[in-house]
Amino acid sequence: MQAALQIQTKVLKGGRIEVVAPQFSIGELVNIIILPLADTEFSGERRSVLEISDEVNGHHAFRNAEDADRYLAEERSLWER
């Protein structure tokens, strides 16, 4: 088994990516994984997971067990009406 090959390249016009790897034989099967470079992947503002989960509709982020218990008690009282 050969060692992994890591190559950095630019995306070409039309979204094409060209890889030149002469160490592989013609017709040999290979896997290609494409990952953006870290500095372009997270170029936006960094936020905590709690801030992001607060934005998801229908999802509740509880900061502690007491908050979760309080929410469940409120929900149960609505069921009984």
The HSE-up count of residue 4 (CA atoms within 13 Å, CB side) is: 5
Mean pLDDT value of segment 58-62: 68
**How far does Cα 55 stand from its chain's mean position?**
17
16: which strand partners?
A: 12
The HSE-up count of residue 55 (CA atoms within 13 Å, CB side) is: 5
Task: Say if residue 1's pLDDT is above 80.
Answer: no
- Least trusted range by pLDDT, from 7-16, 17-26, 37-46, 69-78: 37-46
Give the separation between CA 6 and CA 9, rounded to whole angstroms: 10
Model confidence at 27, pLDDT cuts 50, 70, 90, reads very high
**pTM higher than 0.75, yes or no?**
no
